[in-house]
C-alpha cells in the first residue's frame, strides 16, 4: 500500500524545499490554529500540524467508509429515539461514571417534561483504521463514532490544496491531480442551514456553543462563514453566557441577549472538565428549549463507548434498524472486537484475558476528545486495580487494531524536519436532519485523515499528537 513518491523520501534537499513551500501554502490556505501561549487571541497564529505528503489509503476501504456513513447516521438517530435501549445499555455505566450519569439525568428530565424540540440535527464523524489482517490484507475497522463536537471539518477542507502544491513542487503533477476534492465544512453548514430553515423563524440565529479556550477557532470559522454566506446570523457563546443571559419564553423558545436561537451547535460539553454547577444548569436550559440542538442530549449519549460495545452484540443492530438487514450488515462489517466489562462471569473472563495479554486490547473510558484510552502495561495496571470493582463497568475493552505503518514527515511549528514511521485514521463526516419522524437530509459530508507517529498510542490533532493529512487512493 505504498504511495508513488517513496523515491523522494530520501532526497533531503527536495524534502527541505518542499517543507518550506508546504508551510507557506498552509498559512496562505488558512490551515491555522492559535498558539498555546495565546489560545484566545488571533494576533499571533501558526499553521495547524500536517503531513508533508499525502498518505496512501486503500480505495476499496475508503469507498466502504463512505458507503456505510448514511447507515451510521440512521443508526445514531434510531438510538437517540430509543429510551428503552439507552436506559438498558447505560444502566451499569451511570452507577459508576458520574459524567454519563449527569447527562442521563438531564435526558430523563427533558423526556418527562416533554420534548419542545421537533427538528433534530446530527453531525457525527465515524473514525476508522485499516487493520492489517492475518494474511496482510487491510480491513476497515471502526474506532469510534463522535456525535458531539466532531472537529476539523473546516481545516481538512483546505488541506488537500496544500498537499497538491507540495506534490507539484516534487514533480508529481499527475498524482497531485488525483487528490480528491473535500469540503466537509460546506456539508456541515448545509445541515445546520436546513435545521435553521425548518425551525421556521427567519430572524433567529445559530449559536455556536464554544469552549473558554479556543485554539481551534479557525476550524469553526470555516463552518461559520459558510452560514454567513447564506445570510444566516451566527453568534458564539459559552456555557457561562447561557447561564447568565439565556432564557426561555412560555413556548420554550430560547433567547440569548434578546435574540431567538434556532440552532445550538455544540463545540463544547463533551468532557467533565467542561462543566461546573452553573454549566450543568445552562445545559439543562438548552435541552429544555425548542431550539435544534446539535447534538441533543440523547444523541450525545448514543455516542458513548458503552453504546458502541452494545451494538456489537448479536441482533442489536437488527432490532434498532428493523427492515434494514443490509444496512446492519454493512455496519457490522466495520466493527472490531468489542467486549463488556460488566460485573459477572463474562466481564470477569474479559478482564482476565486483558490482564494476561494487554497488548491485544485497548481499554476505553466513556470519554471523547482523544488522549483517554489505555494500552499495554498501563491497561494491565488499571484493570488489575479495578477488576473486582464495579468501577470497571465505566470502561469497555476493544481489540487493538494493527495498521501497516508508512513513512512520512510530520510538520509541526518549532519541530525538526525528520521522517517518521506513521499510521493513519480516517474519519467520515455524516450529517442528517429529521423533522418529527421524517428524515429530511441524510448525507456523508466529507472526510478527515489524521496521521501520527507509531510511538504515540492515542490522541488527535487537538490533543497535540496526530496531524492533518490527505488521502491518496491506491
Whether residue 293 lies in the annotated active site: no
Catalytic residue, chosen from 293, 306, 380, 450, is 450
DSSP reduced 3-state for 1: coil
Whether residue 146 lies in the annotated active site: yes
CA dist 11 to 7, 296, 414, 451, Å? 8, 51, 22, 22
Judge whether 202 and 193 are in contact, CB under 8 Å: no
Catalytic residue, chosen from 125, 141, 238, 400, is 125
Judge whether 290 and 45 are in contact, CB under 8 Å: no
Sign of CA dihedral 278, 280, 281, 285: positive
Catalytic residue, chosen from 30, 369, 376, 459, is 369
Whether residue 144 lies in the annotated active site: yes
Lookup: cell for 229: 454566506
Whether residue 132 lies in the annotated active site: no
Whether residue 290 lies in the annotated active site: no
Whether residue 151 lies in the annotated active site: yes
Catalytic residue, chosen from 253, 290, 305, 306, is 305
Whether residue 369 lies in the annotated active site: yes
Whether residue 36 lies in the annotated active site: no
Angle between helices 345-356 and 376-386 (to 10 degrees): 140
Judge whether 239 and 210 are in contact, CB under 8 Å: no
Catalytic residue, chosen from 124, 146, 157, 424, is 146
Whether residue 425 lies in the annotated active site: no
CA distance 429 to 187: 8
Backbone angles phi, psi at 289, to 5 degrees: -80, 170
Catalytic residue, chosen from 126, 151, 340, 394, is 151
> Which single residue is written with the C-alpha cell 487491510?
138
Q: Where is 425: in which H helix or E strand? A: strand 419-435
Judge whether 112 and 83 are in contact, CB under 8 Å: no
Q: Where is 315: in which H helix or E strand? A: none
Catalytic residue, chosen from 330, 368, 370, 452, is 368
CA distance 467 to 410: 7
CA distance 445 to 349: 40
Active-site residues, by number, are 125, 144, 146, 151, 305, 364, 368-369, 450
Amino acid at each position: 500500500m505504498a504511495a508513488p513518491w517513496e523515491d523522494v523520501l530520501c532526497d533531503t534537499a527536495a524534502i527541505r524545499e518542499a517543507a518550506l513551500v508546504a508551510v507557506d501554502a498552509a498559512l496562505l490556505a488558512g490551515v491555522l490554529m492559535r498558539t498555546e501561549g495565546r489560545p484566545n487571541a488571533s494576533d499571533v497564529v501558526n499553521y495547524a500540524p500536517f503531513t508533508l505528503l499525502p498518505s496512501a489509503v486503500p480505495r476499496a476501504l475508503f469507498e466502504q467508509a463512505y458507503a456505510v456513513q448514511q447507515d451510521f447516521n440512521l443508526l445514531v438517530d434510531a438510538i437517540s429515539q430509543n429510551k428503552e435501549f439507552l436506559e438498558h445499555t447505560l444502566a451499569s455505566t451511570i452507577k459508576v461514571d458520574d459524567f454519563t450519569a449527569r447527562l442521563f439525568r438531564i435526558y430523563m428530565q427533558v423526556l418527562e417534561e416533554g420534548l419542545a424540540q421537533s427538528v433534530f440535527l446530527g453531525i457525527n464523524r465515524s473514525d476508522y483504521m485499516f487493520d492489517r489482517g492475518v494474511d496482510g490484507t487491510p480491513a476497515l475497522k471502526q474506532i469510534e463514532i463522535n456525535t458531539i463536537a466532531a472537529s476539523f471539518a473546516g481545516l481538512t477542507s483546505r488541506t488537500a490544496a496544500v498537499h497538491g502544491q507540495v506534490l507539484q513542487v516534487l514533480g508529481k503533477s499527475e498524482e497531485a491531480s488525483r487528490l480528491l476534492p473535500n469540503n466537509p465544512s460546506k456539508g456541515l453548514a448545509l445541515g445546520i442551514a436546513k435545521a435553521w430553515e425548518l425551525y421556521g423563524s427567519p430572524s433567529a440565529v445559530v449559536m455556536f456553543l464554544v469552549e473558554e479556550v479556543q485554539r481551534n477557532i479557525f476550524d469553526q470559522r470555516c463552518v461559520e462563514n459558510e452560514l454567513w454566506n447564506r445570510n444566516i446570523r451566527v453568534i458564539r457563546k459559552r456555557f457561562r453566557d447561557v447561564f447568565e443571559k439565556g432564557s426561555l419564553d412560555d413556548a420554550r423558545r430560547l433567547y440569548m441577549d434578546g435574540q431567538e436561537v434556532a440552532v445550538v451547535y455544540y463545540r463544547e460539553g463533551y468532557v467533565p472538565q467542561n462543566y461546573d454547577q452553573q454549566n450543568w444548569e445552562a445545559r439543562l436550559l438548552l435541552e429544555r428549549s425548542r431550539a435544534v440542538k446539535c447534538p441533543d442530549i440523547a444523541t450525545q449519549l448514543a455516542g458513548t463507548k458503552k453504546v458502541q460495545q452494545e451494538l456489537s452484540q448479536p441482533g442489536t443492530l437488527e432490532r434498532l434498524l428493523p427492515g434494514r438487514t443490509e444496512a446492519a450488515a454493512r455496519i457490522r462489517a466495520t466493527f472490531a472486537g468489542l467486549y463488556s466489562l460488566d460485573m459477572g462471569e463474562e466481564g470477569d473472563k474479559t478482564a482476565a484475558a486483558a490482564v494476561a495479554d494487554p497488548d491485544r486490547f485497548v481499554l476505553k473510558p466513556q470519554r471523547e476528545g482523544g488522549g483517554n484510552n489505555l494500552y499495554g502495561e498501563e491497561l494491565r495496571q488499571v484493570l488489575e486495580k479495578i477488576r473486582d470493582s464495579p468501577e470497571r463497568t465505566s470502561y469497555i475493552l476493544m481489540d487493538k487494531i494493527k495498521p501497516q505503518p508508512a513513512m512520512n514527515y510530520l510538520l509541526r511549528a518549532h519541530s525538526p524536519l525528520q521522517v517518521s514511521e506513521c499510521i493513519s485514521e480516517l474519519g467520515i463526516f455524516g450529517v442528517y436532519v429529521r423533522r418529527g419522524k421524517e428524515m429530511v437530509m441524510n448525507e456523508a459530508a466529507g472526510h478527515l485523515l489524521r496521521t501520527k507517529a507509531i510511538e504515540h498510542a492515542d490522541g488527535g490533532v487537538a490533543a497535540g499528537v496526530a496531524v492533518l493529512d490527505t488521502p491518496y487512493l491506491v
